[in-house]
């Protein structure tokens, strides 16, 4: 779908967003390995970024971005939401975990005539993981995932990697897996940000273009922001889209509010000047869901740097990823 560099950028943003949850202990893991489809006589690479949140000593939840690599006819990736049961062993130095949940995927598939289909769907995912703690913060993990859509390609991924534990205490201890940060009631101030970056259309050619955006952001209540933005996706040959979006964001701050992370969702109303003609309309306006991740750093009292990843989910096989970096000005509410 997108290039490996851009996928890495997106996964880094996903990991930072782990701090959105105000719950005990956080584990962030990077894993890489192989993927084997059940219906093809070939294999490919796989990698994932995983955030796991402990609810209790032996029970946790996770969100992960999984890239299943490229095999004939499929470029698939998606997000997995799972619940886990954990069995600590050897004085909490090793843990064996079983997970199950739902995987929402985006699969780029070729069509006759050279076009591309963006297939969206949900599949059950089952996982087995073994974790070993190397120190108070660092650990290694080996994990196997079984992804089983009803009508699409079924796959097994096997990966190994390393992770970091973000709990306030040191590494997990029996009956206490860390404390939530102190609640300060932080509410985002008024912010106006100018962005530039790149859009990538999810086809087998991954057409790219320069993209630009403007955003006004305001905190509504602690941990909830609202934004209004204008987006220009550039001209990556196959689309030429621009429009306006409004989103609600779950947000959190840490390191004395110098760092902020968040996840947003809302409608994107756009005009695609290369939209396929339909019912006599050459350039119809349309609406699409816009899911986003953001990470910001406070540079001074008034200035911030903000990164945003947007995924546009289209209804006409023109999904796109938009990677933006911007400089913003903030002022009191």
Cβ neighbours of residue 215 under 8 Å, at least 6 residues apart? Answer: 191, 192, 193, 195, 227, 228, 229, 306, 308, 326, 328
Per DSSP, what are the bridge partners of residue 66? 48, 78
CB 195 within 8 A of CB 324: yes
Distance CA 272, CA 281 (A): 11
Q: How far apart are CA 234 and CA 38, in angstroms?
A: 39
What average pLDDT does range 316-332 have in this prediction? Answer: 95
The C-alpha atoms of residue 273 and residue 281 are separated, in whole angstroms, by 11
Four-point Cα dihedral 7, 9, 10, 13, nearest 10:
160
Gap between the Cα atoms of 130 and 99, Å rounded? 11
Rounded distance between C-alpha atoms, residue 30 and residue 138, angstroms: 12
| Percentage of the chain lying above the pLDDT 90 cut | 53
Q: Buried b vs exposed e over 7-36: b needs ≥16 C-beta within 10 Å?
A: bebbbbbbbbbbbbbeebbbbbbbbebebb
Q: What is the pTM of this model?
A: 0.78
If one compares 39 and 109, the residue with the highest pLDDT of the two is: 109
Helix, strand, coil percentages, rounded to 5, for the chain = 5, 65, 30
Structure confidence at residue 24 (pLDDT): 40
Is residue 59 scored above 80 in pLDDT? yes
Q: Which helix (H) or strand (E) holds 329?
A: strand 320-331
Q: Which own/partner pairs from 78-85 qualify as long-range (CB within 8 Å, at least 24 positions apart)?
A: 78/103, 78/104, 78/105, 78/106, 79/103, 79/104, 80/48, 80/104, 80/125, 80/145, 82/125, 82/127, 83/59, 84/52, 84/59, 84/60, 84/127, 84/129, 85/58, 85/59
Domains in the chain, start-ordered, CATH in brackets? 23-165 (2.40.160.20), 190-331 (2.40.160.20)
Please determine, for residue 200, whether its predicted confidence score (pLDDT) is greater than 80.
yes
Sign of CA dihedral 56, 125, 70, 158: positive
Which pLDDT tens digit goes with each residue over 142-178?
Answer: 999 999 999 899 999 999 999 987 655 545 544 443 3
What average pLDDT does this structure show over 193-204? 95
Helix and strand numbers (H, E) in the chain are 1, 16
> pLDDT band at 251, cuts 50/70/90?
confident
Coil, helix or strand for 13?
A: helix
In this prediction, residue 18 carries a pLDDT of 47
Distance CA 206, CA 156 (A): 25
Rg for the chain, CA atoms, rounded: 21
Q: Determine the average pLDDT of the residues in 267-295.
A: 81
Whats the size of the chain, residue-wise?
333
**What's the pLDDT score for residue 2?**
43
Q: Are 206 and 236 in contact (CB under 8 A)?
A: no
User: Do 230 and 214 contact (CB within 8 A), yes or no?
Assistant: yes
The residue assigned the tokens 């409608």 is 267
């Amino acid at each position: 779908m997108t290039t490996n560099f851009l996928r890495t950028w997106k996964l880094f943003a996903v990991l930072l967003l782990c701090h959105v949850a105000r719950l005990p202990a956080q584990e962030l893991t990077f894993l890489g390995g192989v993927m084997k489809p059940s219906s093809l006589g070939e294999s490919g690479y796989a990698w994932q970024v995983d955030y796991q949140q402990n609810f209790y000593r032996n029970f946790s939840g996770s969100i992960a971005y999984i890239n299943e690599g490229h095999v004939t006819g499929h470029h698939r990736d998606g997000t997995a939401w799972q619940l886990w049961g954990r069995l600590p062993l050897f004085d909490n130095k090793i843990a064996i975990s079983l997970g199950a949940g739902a995987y929402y995927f985006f699969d780029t598939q070729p069509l006759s005539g050279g076009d591309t289909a963006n297939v969206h769907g949900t599949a059950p995912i089952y996982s087995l993981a073994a974790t070993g703690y190397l120190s108070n913060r660092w650990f290694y993990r080996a994990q196997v995932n079984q992804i089983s859509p009803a009508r699409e390609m079924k796959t097994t991924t096997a990966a190994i990697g390393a992770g970091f534990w973000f709990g306030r205490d040191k590494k997990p201890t029996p009956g206490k897996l860390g404390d939530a940060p102190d609640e300060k009631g932080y509410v985002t101030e008024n912010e106006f940000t100018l962005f530039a970056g790149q859009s990538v259309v999810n086809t087998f050619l991954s057409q790219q273009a320069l993209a630009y955006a403007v955003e006004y952001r305001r905190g509504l209540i602690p941990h909830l922001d609202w934004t209004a933005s204008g987006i220009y996706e550039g001209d990556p040959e196959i689309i030429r889209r621009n429009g306006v979006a409004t989103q609600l964001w779950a947000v959190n701050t840490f390191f004395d509010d110098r760092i902020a992370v968040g996840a947003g969702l809302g409608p994107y109303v756009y005009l695609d000047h290369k939209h396929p003609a339909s019912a006599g309309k050459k350039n119809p306006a349309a609406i699409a869901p816009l899911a986003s991740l953001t990470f910001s750093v406070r540079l001074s009292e008034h200035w911030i740097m903000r990164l945003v990843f947007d995924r546009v989910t289209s209804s006409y096989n023109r999904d796109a990823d938009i990677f933006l970096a911007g400089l913003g000005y903030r002022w009191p509410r």
